[in-house]
Structure 1
């Protein structure tokens, strides 16, 4: 039975699935013994117990691959360490391809895996059948073999991790439900909990708080409760548990935070509080609703996910590899002398439940044979022996999915010391070990020890936590695991949430929209006589036929080669170089920083000197203590104690959180986000001055309005803050306009620019233009693991003032770096680069491309990428090598550039 819960501890973990147990294990392993894990029912009883147990090492990014590689290594030795068997079998995995496009994807995967340190072999269909003798191969073109992948029994992994945590002093308590997070002064300071009835897992029902109700989409219909009970979606039936959990108990004591008197949480006779310095939410599909109770946005939603297990059939299958046929959306593996068959269908089914029931432990949803009909048909095609099989088990278990198919990790921006690890999108078993390790390090070190941006909770704003949006988006997300990983693939569901006032005008001009941080942004424009594809219903409405707001707009024709917008993109790119182009950049994140301490705070955070004259702009990085780049931004000094700050579309929450957390309590400084208050129009190109001069009385000459300055000017009948900067490498201005005047300014510009050849241009053109000019992008070339010295941004550092990360960078400047960012242009003008291609120097891998496009001015595919060397890669070393870039399995010769291949002297910008 459970020991009495302590009244205080250093860390309390809410949720005892494999992720929560992993966090507890790794915290204890790092020496933090004052850890209490609370599970509302029994360990592993949520999603963990019914997971398929697949442990693949390779992911799409280096950091995510690092997480999975560590998990596999951990599981392989966990039984030896804890004495608890986890069922680890290194059986390898097999991915088969039945189309040329899938083979291309596998070739790209195999090339990148070489740099990630994961062994991948491309093999023939016959070799694939040798590894899985029951496979049908007459329609296959090849396969990828990953010999170091494996499988586990997920529930046993969780129990082993809990045992390992307990042996190091952590406390593990079952049947304790957390009903609220205690908070004070913007920090989590503990939890309020109550004991469950071990027989039912039931506790007193908790009504949604007003905040909770406010977070739901207005007008969202509530599904009628099924006969099974309140809160269950239509058609749900709770089945008998297949397993019984073991109980783990221990006692512990620790130092904690003072007790909170938060009036929002009312204690009762059957509740108790645990004070804690850190609270970690690892409650899987329950995490969102707990977050709502304390005002924290955690966008995830449960989805029904299925697999079946055959009755025993002739043969031994347990040592066969995990098989995947993404073209048929199925996976399969042996389970003793039976076969498990699962699916990642293109369209999935959200679990339509208003609140995940507290007692949903070791339970499943009703089998949905109708939904599983196509995967079953496909499974019988790939493994003909299944035709005559009966199925002993149908597992329909809910799993939590996020809006972008990456899990959620890190400290919440709303509450300090509240961390989340949830929403694992069916990779929770493969990722739990590494996620637990790196989250534990984050807590102990006070910052992530590796680049975790793709999983960072701060990549989402409140817009993403809307339940109607989540239900629509997750129908698509589950299937993305097996859909083709096309370059520039856009989400098709849950679109249209954040639109600028120009949306209808841009749509009428032929915009093909993409989405970033919820913003609909033009990627490219279709024009008469230039579109090579066929107009079609825009991809944003394919999965939601009731939404036709994008009908008749062009659709991308995805491929790994030149896509159907190539000619359109070329026209936009060349217009910016030769005449003038107009970009809607309203999605840029924008802030106003003001207060008597504004200069002091920004001087402390920014590597560059921000104490400049009013009206000057400053480009600067924000660095962490290790010297890594947390963000890069542009600041406009608008007053003695005021700055207007511009940063990337995706970085709104991240950057505001970073700056705010570094404002000291005694400093008078305030940061306010104004992204939605101002639209941004980029007027770029050699004729930009001529165009704007027609519309303003301001003097736009180089002497009166030099580069790197900002002025308030008139644009026709409207006013704008004109900022003379560029992200495309041409003369130009960004016009920051009050949102209510954005359409007026756009119309004024388009009317006045007709005879100058003004064209609408999209973000694909911005990408190719900035690559030719060598401009870095945060999230691609820049990350918390990259330093400004490696990235070639030392010019934007003022070494004569203190700033966060300065000591680490000074040491690096003395000792030298081991990698440098460079620009590459392919010699073959017909090849295409997208990013994530292997770079070789003199036949040896040295890095990979961080982003890519086609440089229509330089006449070839262009990319950036880091070159790594055992010693400092000097300019002489870099220039002396022979470079090749692996494009879908073929190596193409590339020229390296250490300066921008286009206008390296900046003459076109400074004119």
Structure 2
């Protein structure tokens, strides 16, 4: 630890000495990194950021596996460091809907390995939290390893146990970026040349990114917290308030840092029905509230510390504490606390704050190397709860090329800084979406929930036809994507006897039309809008050799061949599944999914490409229709002079041809397990392509098909979905994709796969079907054997063609044999299920290759 002037050079500069920056530095040096420098604009360790005004409460359970895993790692790390109070955490329910939610908490905790999650009766809650009025609650969820981190103590521990050098009162004034890479960090104390840098400035993340020309979508929001005067009900508990920050430089109100350093002696608590949480501070009580309208802060106006002002704290706004301003809550924070904790009704507050922390548009962290600047990494939108885990993940990623925790590789699709769409950096957009995520922090969010702001940002050329057909639009990556079409409502009657009712939580925001579209496609022909999918053009001298280097499959292709392959990281984890089309000598089209795929997958190819190879991500440049079903060939042949017979256009081949007068690249592939093609055309031709196929196929029963049908059809065939079934936390052998790997070729990740194959595959993806229920299983729910969790649901849907409910999961190989009986816990129910061989539908592929 140092307080002197920073050096003029370092291998790595970490910008920000809060929870994340200190964690990254600690873990980098633990992994052997040398010459790591950490700088912060504030004093050390009380930097003036959210790490030192936060109450440090850590609730580990999340519907997200990576959020739960990083939280648990953080709690274990800081517990071993002696700066974590493992007092347990209790979330109470004041409604039946919330009790259902708490049952989900138990299921998520069980799935992701948290110890001893349990539901409590009201009386059991008050045994742990005697201030709670048991008549106000229906029960609670208890996680015994939840607790509270001493923020200042943890920062000091990191600094003392890392070989990195730390420099406070060092303001970053610029980032020297040229040639597409980071060269130096400019500070008020001088320039630091470096090979890589990490932006860990959280509340200032947007401003720091701007110094490098990046529009990072990091939205600061105010959040209220109060600490009461000493309470008679907590009398007898020792308190060291007044001595906790002795000798430390503290910007702004010292009482905030004093109270945040005071530990709890009872479990930390949450009342999510009213967006509240609480913990003891010695003989006082701290109460936090999301129960107010979103108070967004201009990300360009975060400000700086002073003796009177902590930059990440705003003045307490009493009206937001005492008046109900949250549009989803009918009581103010004070009203709700007075009811739940009656002893707080007349107490005075010793400390108050509107503290600032940040949200991204989807509420998840932004981690990884930026696409625009080589060597510039981010660790943003991360709270104390997950900071240790993400620091470890980022350090492993930077040092070894594989994001991982000690428990193994982690999935990065939902946290990667490259996942954001081109529009996400527009300030109004990410501030509005960040505000929505703040509003939802403690809300019960329905399955398939959709935002209502910033819609119709991205529409395919088919959008107006789809509106006329009554499309129910969902937003994905900013695109408006039909989930089903009301014009197909008349199909429900046709297939009514094959469509079971879906009630309860699993049936929310679903339509029987999705099932009807599924079954119709199996019998007739449908058009699916694939415009959200992306093409990546790879061209130039050495293109084939380059693709061989990054692709797990053999890329020795003839013109017109199509091959399914994977992109792997150095650890053999799946970065992407892709389709590679050879159009001509040294000219290839790589296709991948939508959403976060273009930024992550395209960015990876751009990073790896040599100077002679051009990689161009054509996000939105092509409009694409998936034409699938038994009548697909007959319909397509009516529209083209090209030979589309099985001999003339075999499965997994491609042609550049015309459909009507529209030039297309036609791929004979299918993501639904039916005869069909993907038709890729320049966007300006999209509307004509739709009209041509629609007019030609009217008598053949052609219909539009939405994403709901695609989801259930692909699951029947066992086709993988990146970010759901496969990601960087699984290798191809575990994921059941050995056919996408040619071990006779050389590619990134091969060495790791050889090691994995020699070691033996410990887990394997497998389909399950329910024995006696038509309910749909939801992701993240535990799969058990003899009462022990052996996996969790990756994806679930109803297989309307096979008349069974399907769930995909990874299980230990000893349980992966077909016929094995297991159970799935979902929505408080236990379902008997059976392991099955895949694919469940058309295992001989007769329907695809005919």
| TM-score using structure 1 length | 0.83
Give structure 1 regions of 4+ aligned residues with deviation exceeding 6 angstroms.
Answer: none
Instruction: Specify the alignment match of 1:156 in structure 2.
Output: 153
Matched, 1:388 2:391: no
| Residue 527 of structure 1, CA deviation | 4.2
Instruction: Specify the alignment match of 2:254 in structure 1.
Output: none
User: SS at the partner of 1:706?
Assistant: coil
User: SS at the partner of 1:159?
Assistant: helix
Matched, 1:520 2:480: yes
Say if 1:308 and 1:341, in contact at 8 Å, map to a contact too: yes
| Residue 778 of structure 1, CA deviation | 0.9
Matched, 1:509 2:469: yes
1:677-716 maps to which residues of 2 (within 5 A)? 677-716=621-660
Matched, 1:37 2:38: yes
1:26-65 maps to which residues of 2 (within 5 A)? 26-43=27-44, 44-65=47-68
Matched, 1:500 2:460: yes
Q: 1:376 to 1:756 in 2, by over 3 A?
A: farther
Instruction: Specify the alignment match of 1:403 in structure 2.
Output: 361
Residue deviations 1:359-387 (CA, integer Å, cap 9, x gap): 47624223223333222222222222222
Aligned counterpart in structure 1 of residue 233 of structure 2, from 302, 306, 315:
315
Distance 2:838 2:454 in 1: 41
> How many residue pairs get matched?
791
Instruction: Specify the alignment match of 1:331 in structure 2.
Output: 277
Matched, 1:21 2:25: no
Matched, 1:439 2:394: yes
Distance 1:508 1:92 in 2: 54
Aligned counterpart in structure 1 of residue 222 of structure 2, from 285, 295, 304:
304
Distance 1:359 1:442 in 2: 32
Aligned counterpart in structure 2 of residue 810 of structure 1, from 741, 751, 754:
754
Distance 2:101 2:230 in 1: 35
Say if 2:292 and 2:320, in contact at 8 Å, map to a contact too: no
Matched, 1:676 2:636: no
Matched, 1:901 2:840: yes
| Residue 300 of structure 1, CA deviation | 0.6
1:367-766 maps to which residues of 2 (within 5 A)? 367-372=316-321, 373=323, 374-424=332-382, 428-449=383-404, 450-451=409-410, 452-527=412-487, 560-649=505-594, 650-665=596-611, 668-766=612-710
Distance 1:287 1:64 in 2: 20
Say if 1:519 and 1:587, in contact at 8 Å, map to a contact too: yes
1:351-366 maps to which residues of 2 (within 5 A)? 351-352=297-298, 354-359=300-305, 362-363=310-311, 364-366=313-315
Distance 1:432 1:808 in 2: 28
Instruction: Specify the alignment match of 1:891 in structure 2.
Output: 830
Instruction: Specify the alignment match of 2:249 in structure 1.
Output: none
| Residue 835 of structure 1, CA deviation | 1.7
| Residue 432 of structure 1, CA deviation | 1.4
| Residue 490 of structure 1, CA deviation | 2.9
Instruction: Specify the alignment match of 2:781 in structure 1.
Output: 837
Instruction: Specify the alignment match of 2:800 in structure 1.
Output: 856
Instruction: Specify the alignment match of 1:91 in structure 2.
Output: 87
Instruction: Specify the alignment match of 1:112 in structure 2.
Output: 108
Distance 1:646 1:627 in 2: 21
Distance 1:560 1:531 in 2: 25
| Residue 772 of structure 1, CA deviation | 0.2
Aligned counterpart in structure 2 of residue 137 of structure 1, from 134, 139, 142:
134
User: SS at the partner of 2:531?
Assistant: coil
Say if 1:16 and 1:42, in contact at 8 Å, map to a contact too: no
Q: Which runs of 5+ in 1 are unaligned?
A: 80-85, 196-271, 533-556
| TM-score using structure 2 length | 0.89
| Residue 320 of structure 1, CA deviation | 1.8
Say if 2:218 and 2:299, in contact at 8 Å, map to a contact too: no
Distance 1:49 1:630 in 2: 36
Q: Which runs of 5+ in 2 are unaligned?
A: 238-263, 324-331, 493-501
Q: 1:762 to 1:815 in 2, by over 3 A?
A: same
Distance 1:12 1:815 in 2: 37
Say if 2:62 and 2:108, in contact at 8 Å, map to a contact too: no
User: SS at the partner of 2:85?
Assistant: coil
Distance 1:376 1:446 in 2: 49
Residue deviations 1:393-436 (CA, integer Å, cap 9, x gap): 33102212111111111111111111111122xxx111111222
Say if 2:293 and 2:320, in contact at 8 Å, map to a contact too: no
Distance 1:768 1:718 in 2: 31
User: SS at the partner of 2:506?
Assistant: coil
User: SS at the partner of 2:166?
Assistant: strand
| Residue 580 of structure 1, CA deviation | 1.3
User: SS at the partner of 2:642?
Assistant: coil
Distance 2:341 2:463 in 1: 49
Q: 1:353 to 1:678 in 2, by over 3 A?
A: closer
Instruction: Specify the alignment match of 1:259 in structure 2.
Output: none
Instruction: Specify the alignment match of 2:261 in structure 1.
Output: none
* Residue range with higher mean Cα deviation, 756-765 or 395-404: 756-765
| Residue 347 of structure 1, CA deviation | 4.9
Matched, 1:175 2:175: no
Say if 2:111 and 2:783, in contact at 8 Å, map to a contact too: no
Q: 1:180 to 1:462 in 2, by over 3 A?
A: farther
Say if 1:470 and 1:494, in contact at 8 Å, map to a contact too: no
Say if 1:822 and 1:897, in contact at 8 Å, map to a contact too: yes
Residue deviations 1:184-203 (CA, integer Å, cap 9, x gap): 432212211114xxxxxxxx
Distance 1:498 1:785 in 2: 31
1:250-261 maps to which residues of 2 (within 5 A)? none
Distance 1:837 1:286 in 2: 37
Say if 1:781 and 1:850, in contact at 8 Å, map to a contact too: yes
